[in-house]
Amino acid sequence: MVRKNKKANKANIISIANQKGGEGKTSISLFLSEALSEKDKVLLVDWDAQANATRFFFNSVKKNIFDCLGYRGAKTIPTSDVILKITDNLDLLPSSIALANFTTPFGVEDFSLLKDCLIQVQEEYSYILIDCSPSLGLGLENALIASDFVLVPIQTRAFSVQGIGDLYSTVDKIKKKANPSLFLLGAVFNQYEETRSLTGLAQGVKKYFPVFDTFIPRREGIPQAQVKRKMLKDCDDKIRKPFYQLANEVRERIDVQKK
Ligand SMILES: Nc1ncnc2c1ncn2[C@@H]1O[C@H](COP(=O)(O)OP(=O)(O)OP(=O)(O)O)[C@@H](O)[C@H]1O
Ligand SMILES: [Mg+2]
């Protein structure tokens, strides 16, 4: 189910990536894509075999992103046949456990299978957000090759800086070897608690990435909303506001970069 992006430009494709588990990739992908969809046409891509973003909306899906890839010579179906409508301005490209098979590259073409999938629908949207899995492997490399931008959710706690250097090296490698226009949009601090100082963590992260001005606070309502499948528009202001602010900052940072 695809309707035209009125601007008729190609979508800005953003990987939401961090190889550490539980940093907030899926939560930010879900609510940021909904916030962006208030003004723009958005496709949320579930690029994780855990299929957490898909399960937020559906108990099960008939077709999933793995059917579009053509991995190891499998028959492909068009991306638009797999896309599901969520709201007028928000669509989902769902995942399933089948994506767990996508681990080993057999040829150079296996690094751009996601890109080939998304190119088919890139003119239909203003933003495409890719909710990545917690890994540095073939899945992440595909996402980075398909993307214009990377946004890195980082949980606000002591050891979150560990591993950031590895993520930076992967982004840098893809930029040099396969996708020179890839741009690191920045890190978004998640689960921020007012009582805790961010200075040390922010300094550690800033060695590698710019840091967004918007922080996402820790709110119990966020996991609760996910259990109840409550969309951002139905959450209270304390949850909604930071995600709308983040959506505005994402728009601004992308506009500055494209000038
Ligand atoms: N700001 C927040 N406040 C409170 N809980 C949060 C917040 N952000 C995320 N969570 C919760 O933390 C858990 C992990 O978040 P999430 O699933 O978004 O991380 P992830 O990076 O996608 O994980 P994975 O690496 O497994 O894909 C979830 O239960 C989620 O509801
Ligand atoms: Mg996730």
Which amino acids bring their CB within 6 angstroms of ligand 1? 21-27, 48, 50, 52, 134, 190-191, 216, 218-219, 222-223, 226
- 10 Å CB burial of residue 257 (0-12, 13-18, 19+) is middle
- In the reported structure, the alpha carbon of residue 29 is separated from the centroid of ligand 2 by a whole-number distance in angstroms of 9
- C-alpha 223 to ligand 1 mean position (Å): 7
Ligand 1 atom closest to the Cα of residue 48 is 27
Pairing state of beta strands 149-155 and 84-87? unpaired
Distance CA 156, CA 191 (A): 6
CA 47 to ligand 2 center in whole angstroms = 9
Per-residue pLDDT of the chain (259 residues; tens, 9 = 90+): 444 454 458 999 999 999 999 999 999 999 999 999 999 999 999 999 999 999 999 999 999 999 999 999 999 999 999 999 999 999 999 999 999 999 999 999 999 999 999 999 999 999 999 999 999 999 999 999 999 999 999 998 766 677 899 999 999 999 999 999 999 999 999 999 877 777 778 888 888 989 999 999 999 999 999 999 999 999 999 999 999 999 999 999 999 998 8
**Whether the model pTM is above 0.85:** yes
Residue 37, C-beta contacts closer than 8 angstroms, at least 6 positions apart: 87, 89, 90
Taking a C-beta distance cutoff of 8 angstroms, is the pair 146, 115 a contact? yes
> Does domain 12-258 fall into CATH 3.30.565.10?
no
